[in-house]
Structure 1
Amino acid sequence: MILIIKPKQKTIKTSLDKSNLIAKAAFDKKAQHVCIMNMEPLTTSANYFIVCNGRSAIQAKAIADNIDEQLRLAGEHCLHTEGYKTGEWILLDYGDCVAHIFTEESREFYGLENLWGDAQLTQYEE
């Protein structure tokens, strides 16, 4: 019997590390306008929101799938998912970090960055 063991990516030590891994996974699937919002001073529900959009619901689902895959490889599991079926606004809850993946139209309509306008916003670039 042959066992194949895939090595895990490096361990996630902080919420900021996790948020950066989420942003990178989104960026790897060509997500647009990837940003990390520091929510620590504003809410106890999460330390960071990672917000991005795809050009279509299909791309938004691909972005969400890659985020989930990369975090699973790092030993993290999604606690809750919303919106995957339609793909217009997909929410992936990892406890201290929450990923929001929108279509272009939904991101503009909901204006999450404006809703949480007091949050420190960092544009993600590789």
Structure 2
Amino acid sequence: MDLAQKAGLIVKAALDKQAYGAVVLDVSRLCSYTDRIVIMHGTSTRQVQAIAQNVRETLKKAGEIPLGFEGERDSQWLVVDFGDVVVHVFYEPMRAFYDLEGIWADAARAQVQETQGDVRIVWPERSKQPEAVGLL
């Protein structure tokens, strides 16, 4: 499964549990431990657990086993690590507090489009991505 398929499947699994504000960041030129970061939130800790669990189960069925899973006890911020994609599922107030989008402000940010149950991840024009404008 390539990165686009994996990120799309992650977002779809999250949206199936009514995740909010899904964002996909391309950090491949900015960090060494992953290529994509997917961020979303839920409005309760129970919903955060359900989102993260559905992401894990959906990708496991597709043959992608997570390398790590953190934060289950408190369910304020759960992280599912698939190696090339790291998923952050926040309880809504924690997302604003930690502001990962701000930390990774130099990363290319994809638009998540959902239509009739289908999810598309649309990247900005290549000229706007960090590697194309010589930032790295």
Q: 1: CA distance between counterparts of 2:92 and 2:77?
A: 10
- The structure in which a higher percent of residues are strand is 2
Structure-2-length-normalised TM-score: 0.81
Aligned-residue offset at 1:37: 0.5
Q: Which residue of 1 aligns with 2:55?
A: 67
**Count of aligned pairs:** 114
The sequence identity of aligned pairs, in percent, is 38
1:32 paired with 2:20, answer yes
* Counterpart residue identity of residue 124, structure 1: V
> Which one-letter code corresponds to 2:73 in the other structure?
K
Where do 5+ consecutive residues of structure 1 fail to align?
A: 1-11
C-alpha distance in 1 between matches for 2:60 and 2:109: 26
- One-letter amino acid of the structure 1 residue matched with residue 109 of structure 2: L
Secondary structure of 1:125's aligned partner: strand
Confirm or deny: 8 A CA contact 1:53 1:102 kept in the other structure: yes
Instruction: Give the CA RMSD over aligned residues.
Output: 0.8
**Alignment-derived partner of residue 17 in structure 1:** 5
The 1-side partners of 2:46 and 2:113 are apart by 23
- CA positional deviation for 1:20: 1.1
Aligned to 1:62, the other structure's residue is in SS state: helix
For the residue of structure 2 that corresponds to 1:63, the secondary structure is helix
CA contact (8 A) 1:33 1:123 kept: no
Q: Secondary structure at the match of 2:105?
A: coil
Consecutive unaligned residues in structure 2, runs of 5 or more: 115-136
What is the deviation of 1:41?
Answer: 1.2
Measured in 2, the distance between the counterparts of 1:121 and 1:57 equals: 26
- The one of 85, 92, 101 equivalent to 1:113 is 101
Paired with 1:97 and 1:17, the residues of 2 have a C-alpha distance of 11
Is residue 96 of structure 2 the alignment partner of residue 102 of structure 1? Answer: no
